[in-house]
Copies of this chain bind each other. A is one copy, B any other.
Amino acid sequence: MMYSFRNDYSEGAHPSILKAMNDENLNQKIGYGMDEICEQARALIRKECDAQQADVHFLVGGTQANLTVIAAALRPYEAVIACESGHINVHETGSIEACGHKVCTAYAKDGKLTPAMIQKIVDFHADEHMVKPKMVYISNATELGTIYYKEELTALHQICKELDLYLFMDGARLGSALTAEGNDLTLADIARLCDVFYIGGTKNGALFGEAVVINHEQIKKEFRYNIKQRGGMLAKGFLLGLQFKTLFENDLFYSLAKQANECAQRMVKVIKDAGFEFYADSPTNQLFPILPNSLADKISEKYAFQVQEKINDETTALRFVTSWACPNHVIDEFINDFKSYTK
């Protein structure tokens, strides 16, 4: 039977989340996220972020979170700076542009923005004949599985303050980033350094849900209007609160992400040991090995994955993604299989 490493949203939710839904199912709640369970989840997140003044809003998905935050923050002629590979630039069907805003991009091999890239873009946009960059969008983990370190995020925070830019972190895979080997950031650091960010539930044990944490007063203002206008106001909003409450009550958020990372890194090790290189150096739950096409074909008989990029006629960069639901025995089997293919 085929096992899919295509993404980290192939399964439903951690059983404790389903159980919580079941337990609360017929208790009447106020709609639209104004219920007590959402309030409890918000309190847990504020505590975990050490950010008592933060506003916390729950949205269903990542594209929705990105477009709602950016549309809420920017005036019409203002633009957002992102990596060329950034999700908002490539994989959201122009949703930011549909809200009226340009995405200004810089190329970064590892998917991470630097202060120099930001400075160059701001310098280029000199007058009113050009858009005005006003926000920096980063992902952590990035599209290439790489993560930002505290020193890097602090530097981004500083240049954003200097240049009067909002710093926004897309945390669709924030669990993976925070539990990756070498990570030195905490949620509290991120809350201190970013004007707004979100904590991904969809890819880390929830059925769906992203928790947007807003620190900047300007973005906080009437944010619920933006949610409703963009179609992101869930009628049965308690479903979102319930999931985040479950994830943050018992560190489930971290343990699930850790499981995904460990599975991925075990795969990385066996591939590295066999002498193959990687398209990007990811310590998280995505891996991008560059493999001979014949080997890729062999693997594809039992495992599903994605093609990242054709490297040359003989080799291809592949993309494997592990999830919180990935059983250890699947990785054991993959390792055995891989060794046998490359023997």
Contact = CB atoms under 8 A, between A and B. Distances in A.
B9 A24 contact: no
A287 interface: no
B222 A208 contact: no
A71 to B, nearest CB: 6
Contacts of A103: 102
A83 to B, nearest CB: 15
A129 B94 contact: no
A92 interface: yes
Given A13-B25, A31-B7, A77 B18 contact: no
Contact of A101 (B24, B63, B92, B97): B97
B94 A101 contact: yes
A128 B76 contact: no
A264 interface: no
Contact of A61 (B21, B28, B94, B231): B231
Interface stretch (A45-53, A136-144, A173-181, A232-240): A232-240
A132 interface: yes
A268 interface: no
B229 A94 contact: yes
Interface string A7-41: 10111110100100110111111110000000000
Contacts of A62: 235
Nearest to A23: B12
Contact of A102 (B6, B12, B94, B236): B94
By CB atoms of chain B within 10 A, which of A15, A67, A100, A227 has the most? A100
Contacts of A11: 25-29
Nearest to A62: B235
Given A63-B228, A76-B71, A128-B222, A26 B93 contact: no
B132 A77 contact: no
Contacts of A68: 231
Given A202-B236, A222-B128, A10 B25 contact: no
Contacts of A315: none
A115 to B, nearest CB: 20
B235 A9 contact: yes
Contact of A228 (B10, B93, B228, B230): B93
Contacts of A202: 235-236
A79 interface: yes
Interface in A65-106: 67-68, 71-72, 75-77, 79, 90-103
Contacts of A101: 94, 97
Interface in A138-174: none
B15 A25 contact: yes
A296 interface: no
A208 B228 contact: no
Give the 10 A-B residue pairs with the shortest CB-CB distance, closest first. Answer: A64-B231, A12-B25, A77-B225, A93-B229, A10-B28, A94-B131, A94-B102, A128-B224, A9-B235, A93-B228
8 contacts: A12-B21, A18-B21, A76-B98, A91-B130, A100-B100, A129-B233, A207-B239, A230-B230
Given A3-B28, A10-B30, A128-B227, 6 more contacts: A4-B30, A15-B25, A18-B21, A75-B222, A93-B128, A95-B230
